[in-house]
Chains A and B, each alone.
Chain A
Amino acid sequence: MRIAVVGGGPSGLYFALLAAQQHQVTVFERNPPDATYGWGVVFSEGTLGELREVDHLTFLRLEEKLVRWSAIDIRHRGLRLRSYGHGFSAISRRTLLGVLQSRAAETGVTLHFESEMGPEILDQGYDLVVAADGVNSQLRTAIAEEVRPRLDFHPTRYIWLGAPFAFSAFTFIFEMTDHGLFQVHGYPYDANGSTFIIECTESTWRQAGLDQVGEAASLEFCEKLFAEHLRGRQLQSNRSTWLSFPTLSCRTWHHDNVVLLGDAAHTAHFSIGSGTKLAMEDAAGLHKALVGNPDDLTAALATYEMERQPAVARFQQAALDSARYFENVDRYLDLAPETFAFNLLTRSGRVTHADMERRDPALTVAADRLVTDDLYGEVITRPALAPIHLGGVIIPNRIVAGGPGLGAGLVFSRSFAVAPEGRRHPGDPLIDEIGPVSPQSSVVLGVTLTHAGRRGSTRPPEHGLDRPLLREAWETIAPSPIPYTHAHPVPRQMNEADVLTLTMNYQEGAQSALFAGYEILMVDAADGGLLASFLSPLTNRRSDSWGGDVLARCRIVVAVVEAIRSVWPGPLVMRLAASDWHPQGTTAAEAVETARVLASIGVDAFEITAGGTVPEANPPFRRGHLLEHSDEIRNRAGVVTIVGGGLFTLDDVDTALAAGRADLCRLNPVAYRRNLWL
């Protein structure tokens, strides 16, 4: 085939030199051979292994130029914490391009530099046109209708600078200023140079006046801010400006005989350092697909896309999680240094507690100790098995379950409705059915009080939720007369007398729980029940004192807590929906505020959930999807949290605990079925 590659960056050159063994390949690059933007690029050990397999000669030449290191430094509040065992390597971008250019020349690739090429290439009779022309790809624009590119800009600003010395590790620096927090992502790329990326939130950037100044003043600001770390050396700029990082995704990566490669097809936030890695893996993937389908270009391009798209999507998700971490680092500034480090190192979800134990046992033990806090003088082997004090009760481990006999330290019984109209289904138990339990040494028993509100009066849940009863239905109550679905009857809007009755019912429930011998009481203010519908602006449209802003909406929960507190001396847990998964629903800041208010009147812990408020929701279900909410409420409101939401293994639990994202966890039921723990 005659193949044109537009763009002589790492992906274009690497693909060209691989494909040139079978095909006639021409590369068009708009810059001269020695032009370079950016400083160094970073690879993980895994990427290197793959490059070794794909083209050994290129690998050998790159290998001798690589800087390798295994440590990550975290500099924060004047401390330097070093974590070992991570295995990175980097190379200067100029060197990388040099090696690829010379290999390309050797393998017979025709290289045209200073040769700008746009969509006109499509009319020049090539069998395959490879668009490796970067995130602003002109070729992609020409086929935008088919590949449907989508750009999402991250809400932080960053500037890509160089430093004239080699860091001895991948280095994160956090510096607080009067304008807000700045962080550095730095790593060496040769003996005398490091990439030095500075990032901050948009508001910090504006408050520091960086939106008003040019290149020189920006550089001066940064040098002054990081003077202690630069020790008199200057930062290097290459017409660098403050940018917002765009995450690019495309529905498909090819159309007819045009195929997208690297940054032209996708980008992933720089904080997981994967741009060049993904680009070169794309090149290898496309080459492999062509070799595997020698006579069928269409099948080859489909195969390339099928192989690469899911792998890239996983990285993009990890990059998104990592980017979100850096948008919110200010939430972690009070964490202990080891917890701070553990949280940072596990931010993208790709590194777990078990990985950390292998990579850096010392740091992991230190982070674990902050959780395992030796209560009995016993050696606690892992965070998940550490006891925890909660409101005067010691829970023997960090696992919460909805049934006995599973090894969990805290077991909740079924939920009891505080009033007959508050039952979700006809068979649900009422608080006067709370029976005595006998205390057990290995497990703490808890009980949940609930009121289904407008989700009440529905059929049993075995065949589906929220189907109203046909016979023997009862009137439901809610803050506002809005039915749960159009099939539900309109609930009665609560009046003052109903509120008083409700608080008394909760008090009575707490009293029964106390007499029955339960040690922990949970109040359900989630899952679209009555209290949850007061908290959410979607379902509370009241104009009296029980509706309005977040404080007004949580007044009824405050009243319930106060009523319970007058009879219940033990630990009190509130089940709270951190999000309604709805654009007009409860905001993250409101959920934090609610937790803060409730903690101040005696709620000891919060079980963080989301959704259930309205059926028209768009939930982001995936492994550990509630951890971000738990992390935010725990670290912003300074409260104890319980979290579930797709935690499948004890490793998931250990990771969440050691990183300070939660204090107790619920495992997905399948973990028990598969006997994945104990």
Chain B
Amino acid sequence: MHVGIGLPTTTPGRTPDLIPHWAARAEAAGFTSLGVIDRVAYDALEPLVALATAGAVTERTRLVSMVLIGPLHNTVLLARQAATLDAVTGGRLTLGLGVGARHDDYLAAGVTPANRGASLTDQLARLRDHWEDRRVGPHPARKGGPDLLVGGASGPALLRMARLADGYVHGGGPPRSFASAVTKARVAWEESGRPGQPQLWAQAYFCLDDVDTGSNYLRDYYAFTGQFAEKVAASNLTSPIAIREYLAGYEEAGCDELVLLPCTSDPGEIDRLQEALG
């Protein structure tokens, strides 16, 4: 299992040079991917621009969105942005897409949330078509374009993943809930008759210093979910032992890459996480 780290695109107290600094330091520390999450109606950096910034100061690290709220984007422009990011980083983009969970993001973007599942399904097919057909540019670095990941635990979401994506990205939770999602993703893949196996990605929050600030950020970021915010805060990984146990559980469940997301903008978290991983 590979381990990646999130970019601090949603945490408070960012300085202008934080993202390039963080990205370079994370690559030097050996993390295999840099992840971004997406929220429109919040003080959050735009995920693809943030990934491009990170891509400019790194050479090997995979750049992954987990997940971008697909239906908020015009599909042709998204295809071009993703192909550009893939082209300028030598094929390092993995594009995770989902429908998101926040009504206010749709409201802010002026997009109706009705049929968002169906629009994402349609978008996945058309993104791949654009990358293959090359009627709009640029050409992605890889033939057929970046790998696509899809999140969501419902039957239709799993079907969408198996029919039109290259893998599954889990939304977080204890290893046991990830294991159950993996089973479903594998069954969906098998039933759809796709060749090979789905890539399995996952994410979790960690905070190894100033846990109160971290927890307050999580409560604020997830405030729209009501009590779920408390659960996210309660499952924050705040000790090296908790992180190692979590990793072992995810690896056992078949995770290909786990991205650990920061709760503060302190780059010291990169070193603390590296140390915790041993």
Contacts and interface: CB of A to CB of B under 8 A. Distances in A.
A462 interface: yes
**B126, B176, B234 interface centre (most CB from chain A within 10 Å):** B234
Contacts of A57: none
Contact of A299 (B154, B194, B230): B230
Contact of A623 (B177, B187, B195): B187
B273 interface: no
Contacts of B163: 464-466, 615
A623 to B, nearest CB: 5
A465 B194 contact: yes
A interface bracket (residues with beta carbon within 8 Å of B):
35 or more
Contacts of A470: 129, 132-133
Contacts of A644: 190-191
A562 interface: no
Residue of A301, A463, A485 most packed against chain B (CB within 10 A): A463
Given A619-B158, A621-B184, A611 B234 contact: no
B90 interface: no
B239 to A, nearest CB: 14
Interface string B104-136: 000000000000001001101110110011000
B16 interface: no
B194 A302 contact: no
B227 A254 contact: yes
B144 interface: yes
B194 A461 contact: yes
Main secondary structure of the interface of A (DSSP, over half): loop
Main SS class of interface, B: helix
Nearest to B188: A621
B226 interface: yes
Contacts of A622: 180, 183-184, 187
Contact of B125 (A467, A527, A617, A673): A467
B227 A252 contact: yes
A310 B254 CA distance: 20
Interface in B213-252: 226-228, 230-231, 233-235
Contacts of B192: 465, 612
B155 A621 contact: yes
Contacts of A485: 122, 125
A668 interface: yes
A465 B195 contact: no
Interface string B184-204: 111110111111010000000
Contacts of A620: 155
Interface residues of B, number: 48
B166 interface: yes
Given A464-B128, A615-B121, A255 B227 contact: yes
Contacts of B165: 464
Nearest to A670: B186
A255 B188 CA distance: 35
B187 A646 contact: yes
A625 interface: yes
B187 A299 contact: no
Given A619-B188, A621-B188, A673-B197, A305 B128 contact: no
A600 interface: no
B68 interface: no
Nearest to B147: A463
* Of listed A464, A620, A625, residue having the most chain B CB within 10 A: A464
B41 to A, nearest CB: 23
B114 to A, nearest CB: 15
A668 B190 CA distance: 7
Contacts of B193: 461, 465, 527
Contacts of A462: 144, 195
B133 A487 contact: no
A137 interface: no
A160 B262 CA distance: 54
A306 interface: yes
Interface of A: 146, 252, 254-255, 298-299, 301-303, 305-306, 310, 459, 461-467, 470, 485-487, 527, 581, 609-612, 615-623, 625, 644-646, 648, 668-670, 673
3 nearest CB pairs, A to B? A302-B230, A646-B187, A464-B164
Given A465-B194, A646-B183, 5 more contacts: A465-B192, A466-B125, A615-B159, A668-B187, A670-B254
